[in-house]
Structure 1
Amino acid sequence: MTDEPDDVLTGDPRWGDLDADPALASAVLEIEGLLAADGWDQPARLYALVDTAQLVVQEPALASLMGLDADAERGSLTAVEQDALDPAVPLEQVLESILWPPGVAGVAAMVERLVLPPGSDDELPDDPVQAQEFARDHPDRQEVRIVAGATRAGSTYCALRLKAHDDDTSVVGGVDLVPGLLALLQATLDDAEPDGDEDETADRPVEENP
């Protein structure tokens, strides 16, 4: 991913918070844009975010294939998509079992959700299955795609796209739009020893997943 000038990024209507980490925001927005091209009703996705300059040094063949240059890409992050997630397991549950190795600078995830209007929580059934059916059948439901990212340095960024307003100029960006998901993402970057198997960085960067 290229390291775009700040004035280009802040002029983007998706940019949102001006104090966001430019590298993380650029990575999240690039992921969101590529996924948007594939339409809706997509399964959850998970990405490792790696320092692009380090990737060039450590994986020169891959970097050459991607057309990356260490100097040109300094300060940017490259998203590496992980293996497909089990659709039967909620993304939140998957994140609770992940701990990234030190070489991973950050993590990003995409998930689609149904959002109900304010006040609907009081009407939600306690049973999870019934609650999902209630949300699907609600006349005022909104479908939203969330791409959220976090780094070891503590930066966070989210991009939200509503299906009802499916264009780039309507994408909303910000550093704390989905705090619960961001907290889970940050927890996967904890330096503590993992209790189980940790995910390994895949060799499929986001640029190769049109």
Structure 2
Amino acid sequence: MDDLDVDPALASVVLEIEQHVAEGGWDQPARLYALVDTADLVRREPALASLMGLDAASAEGSLTPVEQDHLRPDQLLEQVLEAITWPPEVAGCAAVVERLVLPPDADGEVPEDPAAAEQYAREHPDRQEVRMVAGVTRAGATYCALRLRAHDEDTSVVGGADLVPALVAMLAATLTDDPDETDEAS
């Protein structure tokens, strides 16, 4: 996907989520958000929308993130995503994860055992700690934002449509219209 084709509402909400999470610092558990059409939220839940400072004029063409229950620190986001699907009112979803990223030349040296691989990554001198925010919509739009711990400034956040393809694919799979495939998110 060409970044000129980016959905501005999705890009805006992903960057809003990234900024919100960044205010809490690093070493946070993964987070999951439902993305709802703001105009639809204002129509369906006017009292809630009012509490959130939303009105019909500000709602058009935007998405509102609704954070889901916090994931336990021992709960893998990937496992959570395999077990849910969103109801039709949800226009999209987004997730936030922190990961260690190694340089490409370290690939051949990573142990096969998951625990050993994690220890190897934590001790690697060239590791980078990265916060990834990925969002997708039912219409197929995608957007991601990345922040490196080593460059923890708002101006250093990198954004683009396909920066975290595996996470984008997992999120897109939760937006299936087949309710028999997985359990609905709460």
Length-normalised TM-score, structure 2: 0.96
Per-residue deviation at 1:137? 0.5
Per-residue deviation at 1:78? 0.1
Distance 1:159 1:49 in 2: 16
Length-normalised TM-score, structure 1: 0.85
The alignment covers a number of residue pairs equal to: 185
Query: Match of 1:72, SS?
Result: helix
Unaligned runs of 5+ in 2: none
Kindly indicate which of the two structures has a greater share of residues assigned to helix: 2
The residue type equivalent to 2:62 in the other structure is S
The residue type equivalent to 2:106 in the other structure is S
2:112 to 126, 147, 153: 126
CA RMSD of aligned residues (A): 1.2
**Cα contact 1:112–1:144 (8 A) shared by 2:** yes
Most deviating of 62-71 and 23-32: 62-71
- Deviations 1:112-137 (CA, angstroms, capped at 9, x unpaired): 00000111110000000000000000
**1:98 maps onto 2:107 in alignment:** no
Distance 1:152 1:55 in 2: 17
Distance 2:165 2:180 in 1: 23
**Cα contact 1:17–1:173 (8 A) shared by 2:** no
Task: Extract structure 1 runs of 4+ deviating beyond 2 A.
Answer: 16-19, 194-197
Unaligned runs of 5+ in 1: 1-15, 201-210
Distance 2:25 2:84 in 1: 28
**1:167 maps onto 2:153 in alignment:** yes
Change (3 A) 1:89 1:194: farther
**Cα contact 1:99–1:194 (8 A) shared by 2:** no
**1:139 maps onto 2:125 in alignment:** yes
1:107 to 63, 75, 93: 93
Partner of 1:188: 174
**Cα contact 1:144–1:163 (8 A) shared by 2:** yes
Query: Match of 1:47, SS?
Result: strand
The residue type equivalent to 1:135 in the other structure is A
Per-residue deviation at 1:17? 2.6
1:57 to 16, 22, 43: 43
Most deviating of 103-112 and 190-199: 190-199
Query: Match of 1:161, SS?
Result: strand
Query: Match of 1:18, SS?
Result: helix
Distance 2:84 2:136 in 1: 14
Distance 1:119 1:21 in 2: 34
Partner of 1:178: 164
